[in-house]
Amino acid sequence: MRYHQLFSPEEPDPFERRLRGTIIFIAGVFLLLFLKLFFLQIIKGEHYRELARRRSLKVFLLSAPRGNIYDRRGILLAGNSPSFALAVDPKIIRGPQGDEILKRLAEILGEEFPSLKQRYLLARRGTGTNQVILAFDLDRDTVAKIEARRYFLPGVDIIVEPTRYYPFGSELFHLVGYVSRINAEELKRLAPQGFTADDFLGRAGLEAQFDERLRGRKGRRLVEIDARGRIRRVVAEEAPVMGESLVLTVDVFWQRLAHRLLEGQAGAIVVMDPRDGRLLSLVSHPGVDPMYFVKGFPPKEWEKIRKDEKHPLLNKAFSAYPPGSTFKVVTAMAALEKRVVTPATTFFCKGYYRLGRRIFRCWRSWGHGEVNLVKALEVSCDVYFYRVGEEVGIDYLSRMARACGLGRPTGLGFPGEKAGLVPDRAWKMRVFHEPWQKGETLNVAIGQGALKVTPLQLAKLLSAVVNGGTLYRPWCVVQLLDPYGEVVDEFRPQKDGKLPVKPRTLYYVKKGLVAAVNGKEGTGRAARMEDITVGGKTGTAQVVGMKKRIHSKKLPYLKRDHAWFMAFAPAEKPEIVIVVFVEHGGHGGSAAAPIAGKFLKAYFKGEHPS
């Protein structure tokens, strides 16, 4: 039995010799088996373990509910509701067996098999992930049918996902914004960050600005998949964490009111508290029902919105337009600060102003007669402001405009907010390669020319004028709440600097604004109230230059003037500032001021606007 005995030469028996040969042969074969086993399990073990894992373990991402958005009273502006989506696994649904399953699905969904298959193939090409969503928003009947036939539909899954839900539809569209499904390009870019094809992204408004905070953290579920594609066991699960919720300064009541006041028109209303810059409402009309973005547009509806000349998708509260006479507030401050005029200085308006060989007309062709600063603001006399504008000069005027917060975004932080434009010599040179003309200064002084401001900027400016000179950054989010309702983050008013003007200047400007609403010849009388003093300034911005003034109503819609009105109340201790902008609305005094008036009446007296 010793080793040497195995090969002992004194054994003559040939059978025994052959048996020894057999032992060596078999030992060799077993060594081979042993080495191969070692190779497979020890050397390549990790490789095969990885293959096994990839084959039989699958990670499902569990989408996290998005944080809610509440108005300042806690009314839900954006929330989630469950919806059922049909997902299939492209690893299992393929080949003739896959067709079999798709045929069964088509029958349940009441769809033709070829169209379903085509949709599936397209969707599969798009995602490249382990799940292809075939249908969204299944009704409960369909869900029940699929669940009942689960056994015959391997690789088919119903996923319950929280879907964005906007109770107020288009009324808060421009403030809250909307979410929509990630598209193929974004998915390619964002996939490394854990995004999948069924994710939503915040696209506009607060949904976009606070997208990361609202989104929450996805959960993950590790499951074992058996050879037939069915989930056998949940190995591990990490629950999704709901996103943070927003509490706004905005009051949905005023928001809806403002929205209703713009019914049938295009425009924007910004309502701000001048004491700290918080927004009470921010409306751009018309809006779009954000549910269309969540669930997908019917082509007809999309076509309608795309072709609408009122541009429902554009947030007009952030878009820049010529401010018209509302800018005279800035010109007035510049004139007083540069001591070009005193409040007592008067000029005679004869209906036009001559600069060299050019004639600059006042809006009232027969003139206003003798006007001082307060009177000029009351009647919105162009000639007075041509005159002071010429003397102030574009350099000082543009500096004042910028100091008032024009020409740059207000700092609200919404995506897509426009900066507006404050023209000056450098800008002219840069853009037109021409020196500044004196006549342009006159146009800027009455808010025309290249000058552009947004309604939000005007609200910020007027707030500063009436609160003693402090520029507050507009803001609309007070708190961020975690899913348990605990406050995570709190926002406070932020000062954006002070107007470079003396209180005396503000006093006279305010006086002029009060006169513009309450004076006998005031342009903004439509916003007057009995027992509360309102101050304000109208504006009518020409959209196209014309030799003669023609009444806007006679012009085609797109050539009509923009109507502006900005107001504050009560004049003694202002607590609300409202800026009304009506695109192509015509005259500020007749188109915009009444809207502001109705809003203020409702705000202070609870009057229902008829």
Partner 1 sequence: MKLGQHSLKIDGWLILFVIILLVCGALNQASATMGGLLFKKQMVWFGLGFLLMMAIALSDYQRLLSPRLIFGIYLFLLLVLLILDLKHTRWLRIAGVGIQPSEFAKLVLILVFSLVLHRRDQDHLDLRTFGILTLLAFPPIVLVAAGDLDQGGMLFLIYLSYVFLAGVPRRLLIGLAVIVLVAAVTLGPKVWMVLKPYQRARVAAFLNPEAFRLDRGYQILQALIAVGSGGLTGFGFKEGLSSRLNYLPEKHTDLAFAVWAEEWGFIGAATVILLFGALIYRLLRLAIEVREPLGRTILAGVAIMIFWEAFINLGGILHLLPVASVPLPFLSYGGSSVLVNLMAIGLALSISRKRYSFR
**Cβ contact 536:529 at 8 Å:** no
> 3, 4, 42, 110: which one contacts partner 1 (CB under 8 A)?
42
Indicate whether 306 belongs to the interface with partner 1 (CB under 8 A): no
Binding residues for partner 1, rule CB under 8 A, total: 41
Measured from the CB atom, the residue of 47 and 188 that comes closer to partner 1 is 47
Peptide bond into 299 cis (omega under 30): no
Sole window of 14-22, 117-125, 276-284, 460-468 interacting with partner 1 (rule: CB under 8 A): 14-22
Please give the Cα distance from 325 to 328 (Å, whole number).
5
Indicate whether 38 belongs to the interface with partner 1 (CB under 8 A): yes
Indicate whether 494 belongs to the interface with partner 1 (CB under 8 A): no
> 2, 4, 9, 46: which one contacts partner 1 (CB under 8 A)?
46
Q: Is 325 a catalytic residue?
A: yes
Indicate whether 14 belongs to the interface with partner 1 (CB under 8 A): yes
User: Quick one: which of 138, 165, 157, 163 has its CA closest to 221?
Assistant: 157
State the alpha helices, DSSP H only, in 203-349. Answer: 205-209, 211-215, 252-261, 291-295, 299-307, 328-337
CB of 49 to partner 1, least distance (A): 4
User: Quick one: which of 331, 436, 451 has its CA closest to 385?
Assistant: 331
User: Quick one: which of 610, 337, 277, 326 has its CA closest to 475?
Assistant: 277
CB of 21 to partner 1, least distance (A): 9
Indicate whether 16 belongs to the interface with partner 1 (CB under 8 A): yes
Neighbours of 413 (CB within 10 A): 15
Peptide bond into 286 cis (omega under 30): yes
CB of 26 to partner 1, least distance (A): 5
User: Quick one: which of 553, 555, 577, 554 has its CA closest to 565?
Assistant: 577
> 7, 33, 365, 437: which one contacts partner 1 (CB under 8 A)?
33
CB of 132 to partner 1, least distance (A): 19
CB of 128 to partner 1, least distance (A): 19
Site string for partner 1, 228-257 (x = CB under 8 A): x---x-------------------------
CB of 92 to partner 1, least distance (A): 12
CA distances from 493 to 71, 318, 410, 472, 479 (A): 17, 20, 13, 7, 12
CB of 247 to partner 1, least distance (A): 48
Indicate whether 504 belongs to the interface with partner 1 (CB under 8 A): no
Please give the Cα distance from 187 to 445 (Å, whole number).
49
**Cβ contact 116:105 at 8 Å:** yes
Output the DSSP codes for 332-375: HHHHHHTTS--TT--EEE-SEEEETTEEEE-SSTT--EEE-HHH
Measured from the CB atom, the residue of 21 and 169 that comes closer to partner 1 is 21
CB of 94 to partner 1, least distance (A): 9
Indicate whether 495 belongs to the interface with partner 1 (CB under 8 A): no
The number of C-alpha atoms within 13 Å of 243 and in the hemisphere containing its C-beta is 25
- The interface with partner 1 within residues 71-130 (CB under 8 A) comprises 95
Q: Which two tokens stand for residue 470?
A: 């402090």
Measured from the CB atom, the residue of 224 and 237 that comes closer to partner 1 is 224
Please list the residues that pair with 156 across neighbouring strands: 88
Sole window of 32-40, 347-355, 492-500, 589-597 interacting with partner 1 (rule: CB under 8 A): 32-40
Sole window of 44-52, 79-87, 249-257, 421-429 interacting with partner 1 (rule: CB under 8 A): 44-52
- Coil vs helix vs strand at 215: helix
Place of tokens 């080793």: 3
Place of tokens 């809610």: 68
DSSP 8-state class, residue 218: -
> 7, 23, 551, 607: which one contacts partner 1 (CB under 8 A)?
23
CB of 96 to partner 1, least distance (A): 11
> 148, 227, 429, 550: which one contacts partner 1 (CB under 8 A)?
227
Indicate whether 51 belongs to the interface with partner 1 (CB under 8 A): yes
Cα angle at 362 between 356 and 367, to 5 degrees? 105
Active-site choice (63, 325, 380, 463): 325
> 100, 137, 224, 237: which one contacts partner 1 (CB under 8 A)?
224
Indicate whether 47 belongs to the interface with partner 1 (CB under 8 A): yes
Residues forming the active site = 325
Residues that bind partner 1 in the complex, under the rule CB under 8 A: 1, 14-16, 18-20, 22-23, 26-27, 29-30, 32-34, 36-38, 40-42, 44-49, 51-53, 55-57, 95, 224-228, 232
